[in-house]
Amino acid sequence: MHALDVLGDPVRRRILELLAAGERSSGEVSTVIRSEFGISQPAVSQHLRVLREGGFASVRAEGTRRLYAVEAAPLREVDRWLDQFRGFWEQRLDALGTELARGKRRRLDQGRGGDSRTGEET
């Protein structure tokens, strides 16, 4: 299964978000996902299996508990694939950052009684 097929499902993306915060038991994951998505425990287990088989999550036994964690390698592959598209949004984000800084500077200048266009006191 392709990485984007795995990540295309909102339940699996949410599970990865939970696991990104740290290792979690299958019970913890199931409780959150069941409450947020209204799906059954077997359905949550199926999503965990897809993540495990896709290499996005690992599992280890601790007594009777199964602890899941994120595996970074497939996410790095997705990141490399996204590299070809970054240029589409990075310039826009840079421009947005510039405009936000200008707006902040204008507000500060206006609060001090200055003219934000010229930098002179009014």
Please state, in angstroms and rounded to a whole number, the distance separating the CA atoms of residues 94 and 85: 15
Q: Distance of CA 62 to CAs 20, 66, 72, 89, Å?
A: 19, 6, 22, 43
Please state, in angstroms and rounded to a whole number, the distance separating the CA atoms of residues 122 and 107: 14
Q: pLDDT tens for the chain, 122 residues: list them.
A: 688 888 999 999 999 999 999 999 999 999 999 999 999 999 999 999 999 999 999 999 999 999 999 999 998 888 888 888 877 777 777 777 888 888 888 888 888 876 545 555 55
